[in-house]
Amino acid sequence: MMRIGRRAALLGTGVFAIGGRAFAQAMPVTFGALPPLTGAGGPYGPAMLRAIQAVVEEANAAGGIPTRQGGRPIRVVAEDDQTNPDAGVRSARKLIDVDRVSAVMGTWASAVTTAVAPLCWENRVPLFTVSGADSITQLPHQGYVFRTQPNSRLQVTTATDWLLAQGARRVFHLAAQSPFAQSSQEVMAEKLRAAGGSVTGFVIYERDKTAFRSEVDQLLRSRSDTVLLNGYLPDVTILLRELYRAGFDGRKLTFAYAANQRTFEALPNEVTNGLITFQPSPDMDSGAFRRLQSRFGGTEVDPYSAQTTDHAALAILAAAQAGDATGVAIRDHVRRITGGEGEKVDNVTDGLRAIVAGRAVNYEGASGPCDFDEKGDIRGTKFRFEVAEAGRFRLLQMI
pLDDT one-digit tens code per residue, 91-105: 999 999 999 999 999
User: Quick one: pLDDT at residue 208?
Assistant: 86
User: Quick one: pLDDT at residue 329?
Assistant: 98
CATH code, 152-280+382-398: 3.40.50.2300
d(CA 100, CA 295): 29
Closest CA to 279 of 252, 302, 247: 302
User: Quick one: pLDDT at residue 380?
Assistant: 81
User: Quick one: pLDDT at residue 4?
Assistant: 37
Q: Can 8-149+284-369 and 152-280+382-398 be said to share one CATH topology?
A: yes
User: Quick one: pLDDT at residue 41?
Assistant: 93
User: Quick one: pLDDT at residue 17?
Assistant: 35
pLDDT one-digit tens code per residue, 362-383: 999 999 989 999 999 998 888 9
Domain residue limits, the chain: 8-149+284-369, 152-280+382-398
Are 298 and 25 within 8 A, CB to CB? no
CATH code, 8-149+284-369: 3.40.50.2300
d(CA 377, CA 265): 35
User: Quick one: pLDDT at residue 300?
Assistant: 80
User: Quick one: pLDDT at residue 25?
Assistant: 54
The stretches in the chain having pLDDT less than 70 are 1-25
d(CA 27, CA 314): 20
